[in-house]
């Protein structure tokens, strides 16, 4: 492992651009849906910026999906994405304290989105193309890269069920068993990050591999739970509840989370 380059996921730069430009477009879309369905008195500036950036990310996503992009076109797309992402993060950091402060469920979603967008900045700002792959962050040490990727995905994996539980109609309708499952998964990913942090400066490959195995199992567990929720499988809702009563944003967010869990399945040593 020591002499190999450390890469993010997806490893292929074209696939990474397709995934993260689409993901960013969905983030803008979810933020619009969430705050427009709330009582937050958001200024026109934020609404206009969100809709503008929604279209920017949509265009970037369409460019990323074009077949046969050259190396130069991919580099230009990365640059354009980074510029748009800077605008998005600047606006979202203002929105946090100037538009939705005091609304816990909006703050949780916004912080989640900000953290993911910062992660993509780390990928594309320091991307070094080599054999159509890119180096994750600034590190060429696979152990450090694996640590960083596990820590990031454990953070967002803990937040996925937490965000769903802020949607009141969903929380009120689910069974006690599912509630315990979701809380257990939140705790499991928090524990993984505690174990990572507790390694200190002496990060060994063996220790990371043990944590990776546990992460992979918990990621499979969470993916399974999210798919059961999306499909309204038996045991998800209490008797008599009609899943179609849930707001459309619920299904949009759940599908979005499933795609991120599927991406996390690519994490390996």
42-73 confidence digits (pLDDT tens): 899 999 999 999 999 999 999 999 989 898 99
Q: What is the pTM of this model?
A: 0.88
Residue 7: is its pLDDT beyond 70?
A: no
Tell me, what's the pLDDT at 37? Answer: 84
Do residues 134 and 107 share a domain? yes
Peptide bond into 10 cis (omega under 30): yes
Do residues 24 and 120 share a domain? yes
Do residues 135 and 153 share a domain? no
Do residues 99 and 218 share a domain? no
Do residues 45 and 95 share a domain? yes
Do residues 63 and 155 share a domain? no
Domain containing 255 equals: 141-269
Residue 9's pLDDT band (boundaries 50, 70, 90)? low
Query: In total, how many domains does the chain have?
Result: 2
Do residues 234 and 218 share a domain? yes
Contacts 24+ apart (CB under 8 A), 110-115: 110/31, 111/159, 112/156, 112/159, 112/163, 113/27, 113/30, 113/31, 114/89, 115/152, 115/155, 115/156
Residue 192: is its pLDDT beyond 60?
A: yes
Do residues 26 and 46 share a domain? yes
Do residues 1 and 126 share a domain? yes
Do residues 33 and 128 share a domain? yes
């Amino acid at each position: 492992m020591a002499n190999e380059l450390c890469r993010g996921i997806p490893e292929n730069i074209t696939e990474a651009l397709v995934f993260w430009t689409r993901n960013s477009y969905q983030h803008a879309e979810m933020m619009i849906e969430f705050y427009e369905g709330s009582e937050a008195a958001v200024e026109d500036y934020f609404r206009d910026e969100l809709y503008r950036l929604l279209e920017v990310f949509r265009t970037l996503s369409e460019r990323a999906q074009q077949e046969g992009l050259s190396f130069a076109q991919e580099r230009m797309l990365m640059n354009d994405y980074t510029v748009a992402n800077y605008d998005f993060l600047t606006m979202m950091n203002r929105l946090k304290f100037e538009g939705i402060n005091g609304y816990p469920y909006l703050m949780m979603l916004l912080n989640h989105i900000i953290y993911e967008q910062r992660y993509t900045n780390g990928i594309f700002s320091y991307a070094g193309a080599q054999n159509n792959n890119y180096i994750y962050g600034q590190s060429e040490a696979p152990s450090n890269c694996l640590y960083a990727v596990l820590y990031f995905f454990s953070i967002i994996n803990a937040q996925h069920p937490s965000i769903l539980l802020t949607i009141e109609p969903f929380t009120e309708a689910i069974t006690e068993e599912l509630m315990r499952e979701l809380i257990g998964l939140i705790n499991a990913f928090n524990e993984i990050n505690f174990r990572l942090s507790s390694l200190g400066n002496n990060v060994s490959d063996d220790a990371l591999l043990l944590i990776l195995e546990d992460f992979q199992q918990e990621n499979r567990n969470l993916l399974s739970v999210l798919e059961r929720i999306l499909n309204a499988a038996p045991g998800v809702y209490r008797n008599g509840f009609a899943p179609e009563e849930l707001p459309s944003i619920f299904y949009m967010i759940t599908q979005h989370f499933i795609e991120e869990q599927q991406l996390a399945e690519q994490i390996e040593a």
